[in-house]
Amino acid sequence: MMGPQRVTPSEASTRTSKGIRVVVLDQDPEVRAQVRAAITDEHGFAWVGESQRWTECEALLDRFVPELLIAAVNQVSPQFRTNWSSSVFPVVVALRGEDDRLGTGDGAYDTLLVPLEQERLCGLLARVRFEIYRRKADDLSVLLQRYMAYSTKCDRYLSSFIVDNEGGTQEVAVEQVLCIAADGNYVRVHANNVEHEIRETLTGISSRLDPARFARVHRSFIVNLSHVLDVVGKEGTSAFVRLSNGMEVPVGPNYREEFANLVSNRDRLTA
């Protein structure tokens, strides 16, 4: 019996660049040859490998990450069959014999009866092409939505402050800011051991800072979480935040519990 055809890395590279990648699994070499011929003749598809045992097929799936798997359903791992889906890859077409029960291909995109009919095989490839493009379009849509959501969020928050400096202006990155203190209609931004004054209210500037990076700890103070060393209790119920430069910032009683949770979550994530 003819064994599965092996594919060299250079051959695989050439084939995978031509179109939709296809892997075939079946014990019968004639079935594999018929499917391979149809794939080779069909524009937009690229045959990348075939196998007669599941272990070999699994290696091909890991190596080439095909969009289409045409496989004898009774040879596929039960665990792999449970993951068949209408939204993820590969699209699975199940091969079954006339004596196989109708339910053996349940969960696969479609089934092909063996011995194969060339007309049905070609028609199925046309449908599969559309299905693969649909799934790729869905994946692209999800990626675009995530990109837009992330882009909007990034644009919403400040990445730097423009401050006065010796008659001109300079840009101070938010990463350099240790804390921000209220001072009437101004705020004082502490960064790199320098204090910068900006005409803005603490509430106004707080709404433009990333809450994953900055926290309000007092009605008059915002701190950069990445510069917080610890939270220390003082006499009675008072507490303060110790920053990386040694500066101490009071924690107001109305902010204490929420801020303690933020620091605890930060410590768990960075542990």
**What pLDDT is recorded for position 164?**
85
Hey, what are 260's tokens? 């303690």
Residue with tokens 């594999």: 32
For helices 54-64 and 9-16, the axis angle rounded to 10 degrees is: 60
Q: Which residues pair with 242 in a beta bridge?
A: 230, 248
Look at residue 15 in the predicted model and tell me its pLDDT.
45
Is residue 19 classed exposed, middle or buried when 0-12, 13-18 and 19+ CB atoms within 10 A define those classes?
Answer: middle
Contact 4, 56 (CB under 8 A): yes
pLDDT at 3: 47
Closest by Cα among 72, 56, 73 to 64: 56
* Top-confidence residue, 270 or 199: 199
- In this prediction, residue 101 carries a pLDDT of 60
Q: Provide CB contacts within 8 A for 132, sequence distance 6+.
A: 20, 67, 68, 89, 91
What's the pTM?
A: 0.53
**Interatomic CA distance for residues 92 and 72, integer angstroms:** 10
What is the pLDDT, as a whole number, of residue 198?
A: 93
Architecture of domain 9-152 in this structure: 3-Layer(aba) Sandwich (3.40)
Distance CA 39, CA 47 (A): 6
Q: Which amino acid is at 78?
A: P
For residue 88, report the phi and psi dihedrals to the nearest 5 degrees: -110, 170
Contacts of 47 (CB under 8 A, 6+ apart): 15, 22, 24, 36, 39, 40
The DSSP code for 55 is H
Using the predicted structure, report yes or no on whether residue 105 has a pLDDT greater than 60.
Answer: no
Chain centroid to CA 216? 31
Pairing of strands 168-173, 91-97: unpaired
Of 58-62, 76-80, 163-167, the least confident = 163-167
| Residue (of 158, 177, 163) closest to 226 by Cα position | 177
Spell out the residues 6+ positions from residue 239 whose beta carbon is closer than 8 angstroms to its own.
Answer: 231, 232, 233, 250, 251, 256
CA distance 73 to 36: 18
Q: What is the pLDDT of residue 250?
A: 93
Confidence of residue 129 (pLDDT cuts 50, 70, 90): very high
The stretch 251-257 carries a mean pLDDT of 88
Give the residue extent of every domain in the chain: 9-152, 160-270
**Range ranked top by mean pLDDT from 4-18, 195-209, 223-237:** 195-209
- Kindly state the tokens that stand for 107: 């969960």
Average pLDDT score over residue span 157-161: 89
Q: Is the dihedral of CA 246, 247, 252, 255 positive or negative?
A: negative
pLDDT the model gives residue 152: 61
d(CA 93, CA 66): 13
Domain 160-270 fold: OB fold (Dihydrolipoamide Acetyltransferase, E2P) (2.40.50)
